[in-house]
Structure 1
Amino acid sequence: MTGRYFEDLVVGLTIEHPVRRTVTETDNLLVSALTHNPQPLHLDAEYAVGTEFGRIVVNGLFTFSLMVGISVGETTLGTLVANLGYDQVRMPRPVFIGDTLRVRTTVSDTRPSASRPEAGLVVFSHETLNQRDEVVCTCTRTALVRRRSLAG
Structure 2
Amino acid sequence: MPANYKQLASGMFYEELEPGTVYKHSITRTVTEADNLLFSTLTYNMAWLHVDDEYCKNHSMFGQRLVNSNFTLSLVAGVQVHDMTLGTTLANMGYSDVKFPNPVFIGDTIYSETEVLSKRESKSRPNAGLVEFETRGLNQRDEVVVTLRRTGMMIKKSSFEEES
1:144 aligned partner: 153
Give the whole-Å Cα distance in 2 for the aligned partners of 1:139 and 1:151. 28
1:30 is displaced (CA, Å) by 1.1
Code of the aligned partner of 2:15: E
1:74 is displaced (CA, Å) by 0.9
Give the whole-Å Cα distance in 2 for the aligned partners of 1:102 and 1:151. 31
1:80 aligned partner: 89
How do 1:1-152 and structure 2 match up within 5 A? 1-50=9-58, 51-152=60-161
Give the whole-Å Cα distance in 1 for the aligned partners of 2:132 and 2:28. 23
Deviates more, 1:92-101 or 1:30-39: 30-39
* Aligned-pair Cα RMSD in Å: 0.6
Aligned length, in residue pairs? 152
TM-score (norm 2): 0.91
2:5 aligned partner: none
Gaps of 5+ in 1: none
Gaps of 5+ in 2: 1-8
Code of the aligned partner of 1:76: T
Code of the aligned partner of 2:152: A
Counterpart secondary structure, 1:131? coil
Give the whole-Å Cα distance in 1 for the aligned partners of 2:17 and 2:33. 36
**Identity across matched positions, percent:** 49
- Segments of 4+ moved more than 2 angstroms: none
Bigger-Rg structure (1/2) = 2
TM-score (norm 1): 0.98
Give the whole-Å Cα distance in 1 for the aligned partners of 2:77 and 2:91. 14
1:45 is displaced (CA, Å) by 0.7
